[in-house]
């Protein structure tokens, strides 16, 4: 976890905003774009504004890329493909990139989630933010960090 400095401090140097390192699961990104209000949208906004530091890895980026192209997922959404791509570009530009050098597999019930946990461990983030907390809690290996939290739990922690 990092404590913000520079523009995120007041005139006396006291911290105004605590910047947390997080990995944002793709389901949070999708939920944020499907409902532009709510906890998921706020988590995405915090990452875009530099209020939280998101971490990105190659496997997670590939999953994001695939999801924004999946038109069935976005039926009825107010964001176009071009807007989704632009928001993902902005999100990736704000994210810190982390290589994963060690795999903790097999671990989770859904093997497609293993790479998200591995990224969070490699980056040493405070929170892995997901709507899928149940599957992450059912892993064979237990880790004290990162904490697996929902978007609402993440926002409660910082306020």
C-alpha 14/C-alpha 64 separation (Å) is 36
Q: What integer pLDDT is reported at residue 146 of this predicted model?
A: 85
CA 130 to chain CA centroid, Å, is 7
Q: What is the pLDDT of residue 107?
A: 56
List, in order, residues 6 or more apart from 140 with CB less than 8 Å away: 106, 107
Q: What is the rounded average pLDDT for all residues in the chain?
A: 83
pLDDT over 80 at 41, yes or no: yes
- Pairwise pLDDT comparison (4 vs 154), residue with the higher score: 154
pLDDT in tens, 52-69: 999 999 999 999 999 999
> Which domains, ranges and CATH numbers included, belong to the chain?
6-12+21-130+147-158 (3.40.50)
Helix axes 26-34, 81-94, angle to 10 degrees: 130
In 10 A of CB 94, how many CB atoms?
Answer: 15
Q: What pLDDT digit, counting tens, does each position of 68-79 carry?
A: 999 999 998 889
CB-facing half-sphere around the CA of 118: CA atoms within 13 A: 19
Q: Structure pTM?
A: 0.83
pLDDT at 15: 53
3-class secondary structure per residue, the chain: CCCCCHHHECCCCCECCCCEEEEECHHHHHHHHHCCCCHHHHHHHHHHCCCEEEEECHHHHHHHHHHHHCHHHHCCCCCCHHHHHHHHHHHHHHCEECCCCCCCCCCCCCHHHHHHHHHHHHHCCCEEECCCHHHHHCCCCCCCCCEEECHHHHHHHHC
């Amino acid at each position: 976890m990092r404590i913000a400095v520079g523009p995120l401090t007041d005139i006396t140097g006291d911290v105004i905003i605590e910047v947390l390192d997080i990995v944002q699961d793709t389901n949070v990104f999708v939920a944020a774009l499907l409902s532009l209000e709510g906890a998921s949208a706020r988590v995405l906004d915090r990452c875009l504004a530099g209020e939280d530091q998101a971490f990105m890895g190659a496997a997670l980026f590939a999953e994001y890329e695939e999801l924004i192209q999946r038109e069935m997922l976005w039926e009825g959404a107010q964001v176009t493909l071009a807007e989704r791509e632009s928001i993902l570009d902005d999100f990736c530009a704000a994210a810190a990139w982390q290589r994963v050098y060690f795999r903790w597999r097999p671990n989770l019930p859904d093997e497609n989630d293993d790479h998200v946990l591995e990224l969070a461990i490699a980056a040493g983030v405070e929170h892995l933010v997901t709507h899928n907390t149940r599957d992450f809690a059912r892993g064979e290996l237990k880790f004290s960090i990162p904490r697996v939290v929902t978007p609402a739990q993440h926002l409660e922690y910082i306020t």
